[in-house]
Homo-oligomer: A and B are copies of this chain.
Amino acid sequence: MDTPETQLGPQPEIVLVRPQMGENIGAAARAMLNFGLERMRIIAPRDGWPNPSAVAMASGAGRVLDAAGVYDTLADGIGDCDYVYATTARSRDLAKPVLSPERAMEEARAMRLQGKKVAVLFGPERTGLENDEIARANALISVPVNPEFASLNLAQCVLLTAYEYRRQSHETAHHVMEWASSEPASAIEVEKLAEHYEQRLDEAGYFFPETKAEVMKITQRNMWSRLNLSRLDVQMFHGILRQLLRNKD
């Protein structure tokens, strides 16, 4: 099967533990696929499987549900995994490392690249994972939410995790600033533009009084070179000047 593994590299298993509403399973599938993750596992879904509400909500992400593995117990569902993260809202007294999603997905990515199988567990709506489920994890992931208002739902929690995994996979891309469509103007083009304005403004009596003319010209040159104009910007400014003066004489 042609999964995004080919584009994105190896993926973690997104494991929904005892999910309740089918809609939330479908929404989680959508959240995953937004960031190219397709590997879902479902442990003991409350309303059985398959679930028409999940399918309806997933819509374009239905293939994630079609390919999902469904298991009766968590032990079965993660038996083949080398490293397991558990997401949790509350801080727990379980003597395990607690990582940010960023740090966890950075690790997860590195482990997947070494061929290890990695799972991330998400608990049921409202109640979250039980302690005996968390006990099966190697480390915890805690999203740094506002302690006074923590209301992430299941799909949002999956979304942030998938986003962070994808972000780690695109290390090189995320600092890149692209300029859509237009090339930067060269220094000589900016120079000619500055001259064009200087001449016409001189003729129009802009540089006045005489004693300040030199400083005013320097200030204006300065501005043109500081603006990081594109080639199209330069053309536009030439055009503006020509049009403004067209009907003058």
| A34 partner, pick from B92, B146, B200, B246, beta carbons under 8 A | B146
Contact A149 B33 (CB under 8 A): yes
Complex: A200 Cα to B170 Cα, angstroms = 46
Complex: A6 Cα to B98 Cα, angstroms = 26
A173 beta carbon closer than 8 Å to chain B = yes
A244 to chain B: closest CB distance in Å?
5
Contact B243 A241 (CB under 8 A): no
Contact B180 A93 (CB under 8 A): yes
Contact B181 A95 (CB under 8 A): yes
Segment of A17-25, A42-50, A229-237 engaged in the interface with chain B: A229-237
Which residues of the other chain, B, contact A35 by a CB distance below 8 angstroms? 144-146
Known: A34-B145, A36-B146. 14 other contacts (CB 8 A): A33-B151, A34-B152, A35-B146, A93-B181, A95-B182, A96-B179, A103-B177, A144-B167, A156-B159, A205-B246, A206-B239, A227-B229, A228-B228, A244-B244
Which residues of the other chain, B, contact A100 by a CB distance below 8 angstroms? 173-175
Which residues of the other chain, B, contact A197 by a CB distance below 8 angstroms? 240
Which residues of the other chain, B, contact A182 by a CB distance below 8 angstroms? 95
A30 to chain B: closest CB distance in Å?
6
A212 to chain B: closest CB distance in Å?
13
Which residues of the other chain, B, contact A91 by a CB distance below 8 angstroms? 180
14 contacts between A and B (CB under 8 A): A60-B149, A93-B181, A94-B181, A95-B230, A97-B178, A100-B175, A103-B177, A144-B166, A160-B160, A197-B240, A200-B244, A204-B246, A205-B246, A227-B233
